[in-house]
Amino acid sequence: MNKKIEVQELGVKDYKETWDFQEELFQAILQTKIKNRREELDLPTQNHLLFVEHPHVYTLGKSGDFKNLLLNEAELEKKGATFYKINRGGDITYHGPGQVVGYPILDLENFFTDIHKYLRLLEEMVILTLGEYGLKAERSKGETGVWLDVGTPFARKICAMGVRASRWVTMHGFALNVNADLGYFDNIVPCGIQDKAVTSLNVELGKKEIPVAEVKEKLLKHFITLFEIELS
């Protein structure tokens, strides 16, 4: 089992280009696993974590409803945003500047074979990170992601998650609002949930901007600990 991970910082990158890159890494792991089974080999499979920031984009998961996008094509163009129907779970979400997006592309057979546990660990990574900023973040029963003030009229989502897995290989991941322009969420019904707001770390802390590199560093630290993983 390979418990090492290669972390790549992609900077600001187009959503479709990043999706294609994820797919390449994902398929390479799958092909190694298929070769191992066919030829009774034990070649190690690689693990990756991509950090990226996207230009304004809306993505709709496999089970999502197009009605949750409240813009037509012309309005999308006016806002400088793009739209993609993609192959992760979940409904609609937004990615854009000021958001830390992370795509773990892991062979879970290197760690554990439990998608539920995988999602809970990703949530825990974000909860622990936000705790370092003095925020009490939580899970919301039946809803993937990380929230504040769960169970109150002020419940609001700060981190969205959606993943795809095949043969225990993962792709897609999480999007944590750090310095996000929350106005872009007004153009969708985020994750198909109509009665809850969305927030960002800088808003919660009453600051103009939070250093994104610092947030990534904290996320990575907790990721390494929770998954008992080593940097490659």
Measured CA to CA, the distance from residue 132 to residue 230 in angstroms comes to 22
Question: Which class is 4-227 in CATH?
Answer: alpha beta
* Pairing, β 82-85 against β 57-60: parallel
H or E stretch including 160?
A: strand 156-166
Where along the chain do its domains lie? 4-227
pTM, entire model:
0.94
- Give backbone dihedrals phi and psi of 51, rounded to 5 degrees, phi first: -105, 135
Dig out the tokens for 227 from the structure: 């998954």
Helix, strand, coil proportions of the chain in percent (round to 5)? 35, 30, 35
> How many of the other CB atoms lie within 10 Å of CB of 130?
23
Measured CA to CA, the distance from residue 41 to residue 36 in angstroms comes to 4
Helix-then-strand count for the chain, H and E: 5, 12
Which residues are part of the catalytic machinery? 191
Query: Do residues 9 and 217 make contact, with C-beta atoms less than 8 angstroms apart?
Result: no
- List the chain pLDDT tens, one digit each, 232 residues: 899 999 999 999 999 999 999 999 999 999 999 999 999 999 999 999 999 999 999 999 887 888 889 999 999 999 999 999 988 877 888 999 999 999 999 999 999 999 999 999 999 999 999 999 999 999 999 888 999 999 999 999 999 999 999 999 999 999 999 999 999 999 987 655 555 789 999 999 999 999 999 999 999 999 999 999 999 8
